């Protein structure tokens, strides 16, 4: 099995893990299992609810929701499998450490990142959904996907076009995108999606109060349960407004990249896809405000955010290639 095929499989699993993580969070199942790495003291959640209810008080749980428990455990199983694949990728990199231009450092960075992800996954539970921990955990998943795609592109460039440096405007696009992804995660983990009822203003019918200091403060009480959110309504409205401003900044950065590189024909399909997914994401953002964040629209908003990221990575890959071919030597397989 070639390194490229292993990385392709890892990309698919990373997408599954991120989608499962979002589905778990949107169903308020982050504490479906009150312990880690098991669930109510076992690595496999028992099918008999009576058995779970018998031990639940030992974990401070009074009401057991088996559906949420299974959501959380399936997410953990998928994340563990992804971690094993990334360990395998690091092993392939070790075999190819003397091959010129092989992305060894990138492979090792992925391994370090997936270990950190496991730690933050544990803290998500043990710190009772502390928003900064949950948001960083989400960003870690998106960064894992990003690095896997970059790794796949780097492997492809070993036999095909010569790589060029990332374009300055593309760097700005990724800065705006990751800031907005973080703000989206911060909005979700603080349950601020419901804070505004109007898609232009925050509240059209009355004077809205904002608390930007609390909204941007990552330091919160790690001893309380943050499910449902612990910010004041003034802080949540501020979070919502900041997220909207981040979306505007991202849209402007994307438009700058599209207009700048529209003449590069090999990148045009990727640029069109970026424009289309970003427009859909903005529309979904409006609809989530209008309809007060229903589960189906919130899930779609989460999924399309990943598509925007993938389209931006595709644009980056197209803009970093030239037509001259080069060969860097043989690459060992798994």
H or E element, residue 321: strand 321-325
Task: Render the burial of 278-317: b for 16+ CB within 10 Å, e for the rest.
Answer: beebbebbeebbeeebeeebbbbbbbbbbbbbbbbbbbbb
**According to DSSP H, which parts of the chain are helical?**
3-26, 49-55, 66-95, 104-126, 131-157, 168-189, 212-215, 233-261, 268-290, 295-319
H or E element, residue 325: strand 321-325
Q: Which of 53, 63, 72, 214 is flagged as catalytic? A: 72
37 preceded by cis ω (within 30°)? Answer: yes
Is 172 in contact with 330 (CB distance < 8 Å)? no
Whether 72 is catalytic is yes
Instruction: Identify the CA nearest to 177 among candidates 23, 288, 313, 268.
Output: 313
> Which are the catalytic amino acids?
72
């Amino acid at each position: 099995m070639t390194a490229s095929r292993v990385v392709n499989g890892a990309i698919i699993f990373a997408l599954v893990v991120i989608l499962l993580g979002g589905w778990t969070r949107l169903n308020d199942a982050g504490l479906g299992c009150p312990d880690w790495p098991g669930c109510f003291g076992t690595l496999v959640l028992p099918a008999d609810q009576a058995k779970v209810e018998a031990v639940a008080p030992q974990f401070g749980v009074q009401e057991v929701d088996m559906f949420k428990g299974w959501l959380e455990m399936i997410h953990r199983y998928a994340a563990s499998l992804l971690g094993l694949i990334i360990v395998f990728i690091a092993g392939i990199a070790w075999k190819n450490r003397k091959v010129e231009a092989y992305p060894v450092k990138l492979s090792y960075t992925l391994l370090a990142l997936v270990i950190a992800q496991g730690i933050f996954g544990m803290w998500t539970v043990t710190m009772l959904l502390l928003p900064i921990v949950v948001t960083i955990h989400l960003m870690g998943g998106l960064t894992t996907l990003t690095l896997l795609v970059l790794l796949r592109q780097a492997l492809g460039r070993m036999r095909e076009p010569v790589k060029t440096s990332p374009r300055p405007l593309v760097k700005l696009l990724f800065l705006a995108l990751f800031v907005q992804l973080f703000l989206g995660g911060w909005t979700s983990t603080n349950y601020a999606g419901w804070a505004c009822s109007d898609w232009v203003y925050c509240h059209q019918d009355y004077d809205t109060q904002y608390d930007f200091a609390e909204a941007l403060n990552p330091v919160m009480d790690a001893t309380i349960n943050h499910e449902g959110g612990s910010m004041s309504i003034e802080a949540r409205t501020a979070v919502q407004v900041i997220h909207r401003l981040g979306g505007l900044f991202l849209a402007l950065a994307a438009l700058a990249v599209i207009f700048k590189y529209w003449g590069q024909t090999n990148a045009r399909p990727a640029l069109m896809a970026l424009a289309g997914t970003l427009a859909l994401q903005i529309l979904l953002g409006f609809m989530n405000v209008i309809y007060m964040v229903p589960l189906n629209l919130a899930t779609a908003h989460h999924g399309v955010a990943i598509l925007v990221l993938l389209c931006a990575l595709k644009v980056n890959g197209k803009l970093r290639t030239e037509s001259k071919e080069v060969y860097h030597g043989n690459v060992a397989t798994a």
